Chains A and B, each alone.
Chain A
Amino acid sequence: MASTMSSADFDRTFLPHLDAAYNLARLLMRNAEDAEDVVQEAYLRALRAFSSFRGETSRSWLLAIVRNTSFTWLRNNRSRGHTEFQEEQHVSRDVDPETQSMRCERTRAVEQCVEQLPSDFREVFVLREMEALSYREIAAITGVPAGTVMSRLARARARLAGCLKSSPHKNLAGGRIGS
């Protein structure tokens, strides 16, 4: 299989997952520059390991490498540290400036709470809520049993609810905001 794989195959298989790779790295590293470097290193590792890729779900396969690369960086203290919220990087869904600014504040509160989660909770949370992966897929990526994925998610959600309750945007935790 390996010998017939070309760079075009590699690009076609993995470049569509660039956003997913970046989003995961960005939330694990909590820093945009580190996220870029980690993603690049992860893709280079994926390229070297491409011969062992057997056509599993390519997104999960890549995200597992991104996740491992992120933790290697964090362990080796190669992280540049946590950067503050950068508004211009966020995807805006509204045009009305007043709604936009309120939304930014709420988004900031939610994001800060997610970033405060311990990294092993944060990763299962991102993989579930943002990538909609199943517990089994998340278990394969993170290397823990599905039961652990379940309890980590439950605890991550409980922590998030607590964090949002104590944020200035109390209504975030209480009920859905009409917008």
Chain B
Amino acid sequence: MTCEEVKLLISARMDGEINAVQCVAIDSHLTGCTSCNEETEAQENLRAVIRDEMPYYRAPAHMQERLTSALRVAESFDGRARRTDWRVLGAVAAALVLAVLGAAPFLVNEHNQRQIVADELLSAHVRALFSHTMDVVSSDQHTVKPWFNGKVTFSPPVVDLSSEGFPLEGGRLDSVGARLIATLVYSRRLHRIDVFVWPANHQMPPPHFERDGYNEISWTKNDFAFAAVSDLNTAELNTFAGLLKKQ
């Protein structure tokens, strides 16, 4: 065994990760090699220093509480998603029965679909709040708009509303159903507003939707569908939506 081979194995030997044959070979080499003996000693010293001095970072005290509450929220959202799935299945089953009976089931189905889209958008908003997700951080509409090029198959209209008290913060991508949609992020004081934008030829959420203290306002304009979601109060969110509709 050469010194090079032995030196590589010294560290593995310290970890108890070599087999008996290698162990015998190293030991016989060490009896006649000063340089490898020194290397062994140096490595053992290094390990002792690391064990003594290397700090182990413990999670900060507030972390467990923050974590468990995030986990419970995530679970309740997953539970909600599963229940939603059953509603879709139920609606489809009901639709089939009604279709067989010759009735028009579309209104029921339509209503459910709209609720589901609204639900999904709201979940995307809450998820992003938890994970602090923002793919492009900029208050400049000329940075945010081109960022979406090549990421979604449309170019969403982007305006900054700083002068009206709703500064643009950035944007990100979200997937709703199987589609990628563009999300513009605005703020109002400490509140965050997500504006989801997608081509209007897909299913729309209802114009107003409210759940768990969040408001959602949706509209279409120039072949684009928009949905603004925030924990901001309804009046201010309406003002904000009004400003966007005027652009």
Segment at the A interface, from B49-57, B116-124, B182-190, B192-200: B49-57
For the complex, is A176 an interface residue (Cβ under 8 Å from B)? Answer: yes
Smallest Cβ-Cβ distance to B48: which chain A residue? A176
A128-B131 Cα distance, complex, nearest whole Å: 30
Chain B residues whose CB sits within 8 angstroms of the CB of A40 once the complex forms: 66-67, 70, 130-131
For the complex, is B33 an interface residue (Cβ under 8 Å from A)? Answer: no
Number of A-B residue pairs with CB-CB distance less than 8 Å in the complex they form: 128
B54 touches A47 (CB 8 A): no
Digitize A22-46: 1 where CB-to-B-CB distance is under 8 Å, 0 elsewhere.
Answer: 1100110000100111011101100
Contact of B17 among A109, A129, A134 (CB under 8 A): A134
A150 touches B17 (CB 8 A): yes
Per DSSP, chain A at the interface is helix
For the complex, is B19 an interface residue (Cβ under 8 Å from A)? Answer: no
Smallest Cβ-Cβ distance to B17: which chain A residue? A135
Residue of B48, B50, B51 with highest tally of chain A CB at under 10 A: B50
Chain B contact residues, CB within 8 Å of chain A: 7-8, 10-12, 15, 17, 42-43, 45-60, 63-64, 66-68, 70-72, 74-75, 78, 130-132
Query: What are 13 A-to-B residue pairs whose CB atoms are below 8 Å?
Result: A22-B59, A43-B67, A44-B131, A107-B53, A110-B49, A111-B55, A130-B56, A153-B11, A153-B12, A154-B7, A173-B45, A175-B45, A176-B45
Chain A contact residues, CB within 8 Å of chain B: 7, 10-11, 15, 18-19, 21-23, 26-27, 32, 35-37, 39-41, 43-44, 47-48, 89-91, 103, 106-107, 109-111, 114, 128-130, 134-135, 150-151, 153-154, 157, 160-161, 164, 172-177, 179
